[in-house]
Amino acid sequence: MKNNDAVKKFFIYLILALGGIIMIFPFYWMISGSFKTAAEYNSFPPVWIPGNWLNFDNFTKAFEQAPLMKYFLNSCIVTFSSVTINGFITILAAFGFSRLKFKGKEAVFALLVAFMMVPFEMQVITNYQTVARLNLIDTLPVLVIPFTSSIFYTYILKGFFDTVPDSLYYSARIDGASNWKYLWRVMVPIARPSLVTIMLLNAIASWNSFMWVQLVINSDRNRTIPLGIFAFVSDAGSDPKLQLAAATIAVLPMIILFLFARKYIVSGVSRGGIKG
Amino acid sequence: MQVKIEHLTKRFGDFTAVEDFNMVFDDGKLVALLGPSGCGKSTILNMLSGILPSTSGKIYFDETDVTNVPPQDRGVGLVFQNYALYPHMSVLENIAFPLEIKKVPKEERNKKAEEMARLVHVDQYLHRKPKELSGGQQQRVAIARALIKQPRLLLLDEPLSNLDARLRLEMREEIRRIQLETGVTTVFVTHDQEEAMSISDKIVLMKNGVLQQEAGPQELYDNPANLFVANFLGNPPINNLNGYIKDGYFVLEDESGKIKINNPNVKEGQQVVMGIRAESVAIKDGDHDFEATVKQRYTMGKEELAFLNIGNQTIRVYLSSDYEFKEGETVFVKLRDKGVFLFDKETGVQI
Ligand SMILES: Nc1ncnc2c1ncn2[C@@H]1O[C@H](COP(=O)(O)OP(=O)(O)OP(=O)(O)O)[C@@H](O)[C@H]1O
Ligand SMILES: [Mg+2]
């Protein structure tokens, strides 16, 4: 019996390990590739581990050949604005739908949820026309404005807000808290794991956004990093080592962000202390 | 503070949860709102706190009409059945929260919160989170939080129902102690008659949203207004014997026995229910009211009880240990004056 379990465990771990390697390998190849010398990169059979992990030549060259720093900064600005503004609006909207009473609430919410079915590609056309008329084409704000609210995140967060017992709300009201105070002092801290999760998802989406950026950004100086790397392939000739270095720079912030947010995402599951 | 409630009514759609409720809660008293589940206790409490708007009627705190005053301006403290502590805040922060909202400086509010924590005996847990406390400790924190802003009225909604039997006993004494120490007018909801009997100055008994009787615990027990009240209070429950009135006698419905009644209010032929408390029955030889057969004996703690058959009806009585008899034996029972009531069968009203 015991032996059987051990065998079972072994195979489970084996499969998980294989899956893990398959997932991680491209990242490893990208990161290691960006530290390789030309000889290492071109050799066959492939060199798995770069000779010098402190060989930053590829990065220096990549930064010389294209304004990667500028792209990176643009991406940071866009992502940060999207995440904060969207987060703020999502919190208010979710609270409204979850807690406030107003006429037609259910109908409006059902309508919004129905809108979720409309694929982004279809919204792009109308969004494009709107921002074009507003004369916002080829500016950074245009990368933020269409994404300042999200039905999906509102839906998720409302779902969480709904699980917070009414008695907490009424307690706070009797303790003298306004809706506003209750939201920020009680609801939001309790919902922090959910909030971190949706903000992280939003950050990743915003950081990786490509189609919309390509559509509305024309000038080099307003490019974000995904577009920048896309252009880099042609701008910088086709040295794959440099491309890998640039790609490494592009994914690094998201990896760091994920590592920081990880403990909140996990604790989102175990939300203790609330009963009934 | 005195609370006066006039013609308070609450409807949910066409369902009436509370109907024409009139009441005065005297200053500094502890009142128990008692009744079976769904009788509208929480509804009344929530209308007092302002969480729930009333359909009609008025609520006065002292002389002020607060019927339309929002909860935060009523100066009430409320403890929910599930305590509703803020899970992300420590005990200290929870207790201090009402003062934080009032923008009391941190040092001052923490000092007050520590004081309150000492009052309810949770001062050694100040830095724990609610989920790291036992049910009884959570409840005390909730009471401290309700008391810190010095409410004029403290409302407790079944605060003990989540606790085990022993802790319940302990906590109800605690609540009484805290209430007496602070002198705050308190309304306490419960469906446990024993709880209500043991700590309150006054009991308000409800049924289906309608007030049945308000009285001190002893008065309520000794003089129930109707059959519902009589049946609701007391453990073991009061015995009901069905019968009718004939020639000044109460006659059992199967005519197996009768007893002389000296109650001027009964009418000839009236269908009645006789309520007999278990302790109001004596088993003895000689002068007696009924003959009965011992159906079954059992013990409850140190008390000995027996089921007796009187005709085709059964009553439950306390036994005194100095009288020996076996199951199946025929005995004579004598009713005492106290704890024996007559109710009209149709209306349930005490005659
Ligand atoms: N929001 C509501 N909508 C419709 N009916 C309601 C609502 N709230 C309460 N009721 C009804 O009103 C009645 C009284 O409810 P209430 O919560 O006051 O009962 P209670 O006496 O506190 O019972 P318990 O001891 O079970 O807590 C119940 O029959 C309940 O179903
Ligand atoms: Mg209730």
Query: Is B10 in the same domain as B39?
Result: yes
Query: Is B141 in the same domain as B51?
Result: yes
Residue A273 has pLDDT above 60, yes or no: no
- Cβ contacts of residue A54 below 8 Å, gap of 6+? A35
Segment A83-96, tens digit of pLDDT: 999 999 999 999 99
pLDDT at res. A274:
41
Nearest to B62 by CA among B33, B30, B31, B24: B24
Choose the final residue of a domain: B226, B259, B282.
B226
Domain-embedded: residue B50? yes
Which residue's alpha carbon is nearest to atom 18 within ligand 1? B40
pLDDT at res. A269:
44
The three-state secondary structure class of A178 is coil
Query: Is B183 in the same domain as B247?
Result: no
Report the nearest atom of ligand 1 relative to the CA of B35: 21
pLDDT at res. A236:
58
Is residue B191 lining ligand 1, measured as CB closer than 6 Å?
Answer: yes
Under the banding of pLDDT at 50, 70 and 90, the label for residue A272 is: very low
**Span B153-159, average pLDDT:** 91
Say how many domains are in chain B. 2
* Cβ contact B44:B24 at 8 Å: no
Under the banding of pLDDT at 50, 70 and 90, the label for residue A276 is: very low
Is residue B190 lining ligand 1, measured as CB closer than 6 Å?
Answer: no
* Cβ contact B133:B162 at 8 Å: no
Residue A270 has pLDDT above 60, yes or no: no
What is the C-alpha to C-alpha distance for residues B137 and A187, in angstroms, rounded to an integer? 23
Segment B101-123, tens digit of pLDDT: 999 999 999 999 999 898 888 89
What is the b/e burial string over B233-268, where b = at least 16 CB atoms within 10 angstroms of the residue's CB? bbeeebbbbebbbeeeebbbbeeebbbebeeeebee
Query: Is B177 in the same domain as B29?
Result: yes
**Span A249-270, average pLDDT:** 77
A16 HSE (CA, 13 A, CB side) = 6
* Cβ contact B49:B155 at 8 Å: yes
Choose the final residue of a domain: B170, B198, B226.
B226
Query: Is B318 in the same domain as B288?
Result: yes
DSSP A107-153: HHHHHHHHHTTS-HHHHHHHHHHHHHHTT-TTSSGGGTGGGS--HHH
Q: What CATH number is given to the structural domain containing B258?
A: 2.40.50.140
What is the C-alpha to C-alpha distance for residues A47 and A59, in angstroms, rounded to an integer? 19
Residue A266 has pLDDT above 70, yes or no: no
Query: Is B204 in the same domain as B73?
Result: yes
| Interface subset of A 185-244, CB within 8 angstroms of B | 185-186, 189-190, 192
**Span B171-197, average pLDDT:** 89
Determine which of A34-48, A122-136, A151-165, A229-243 has the lowest per-residue pLDDT on average.
A229-243
Query: Is B220 in the same domain as B154?
Result: yes
Q: Judging by DSSP bridges, how do beta strands B303-310 and B290-300 pair with one another?
A: antiparallel
- The pTM of the full predicted model, rounded to 2 decimals, is 0.80
Residue A121 has pLDDT above 90, yes or no: no
Q: Is the dihedral of CA A80, A81, A86, A91 positive or negative?
A: positive
Structural domain including B86 reads 3-226
Average per-residue pLDDT for chain B? 89
Query: Is B114 in the same domain as B251?
Result: no
Segment A160-204, tens digit of pLDDT: 999 999 999 999 999 989 999 999 999 999 998 889 888 988 999
Please tell me the distance between residue B80's alpha carbon and the centre of ligand 1 in angstroms: 14
Query: Is B24 in the same domain as B134?
Result: yes
**Span A141-159, average pLDDT:** 91
* Of B35 and A234, more confident: B35
B157 HSE (CA, 13 A, CB side) = 22
Domain-embedded: residue B350? no
Query: Is B216 in the same domain as B327?
Result: no
What is the C-alpha to C-alpha distance for residues B185 and B48, in angstroms, rounded to an integer? 12
The answer to whether the Cβ–Cβ distance between A174 and B87 falls below 8 Å is no
Query: Is B219 in the same domain as B271?
Result: no
Domain boundaries defined on chain A:
59-269
* Distance from chain centroid for Cα A146: 16
Q: In CATH, which of 3.40.47.10, 1.10.3720.10, 2.10.10.100, 3.40.1710.10 is domain A59-269? A: 1.10.3720.10
Q: What CATH number is given to the structural domain containing B46?
A: 3.40.50.300
The whole-angstrom distance between B180's CA and the closest CA on chain A is: 22
Residue B136 has pLDDT above 50, yes or no: yes
Ligand 1, pocket-test mutation among B18, B41, B78, most atoms within 8 A of CB: B41
- For residue B133, give Cα distances in angstroms to A62, A186, A272, B335: 57, 19, 12, 51
* Of A232 and A148, more confident: A148
- Which residue of B46, B70, B80 is in closest CB contact with A171? B80
Measured distance between the N- and C-terminal CA atoms of chain A, rounded to whole angstroms:
41
Query: Is B215 in the same domain as B257?
Result: no
Nearest to A213 by CA among A139, A143, A149, A141: A143
Choose the final residue of a domain: B193, B226, B259.
B226
Segment A68-82, tens digit of pLDDT: 889 999 999 999 999
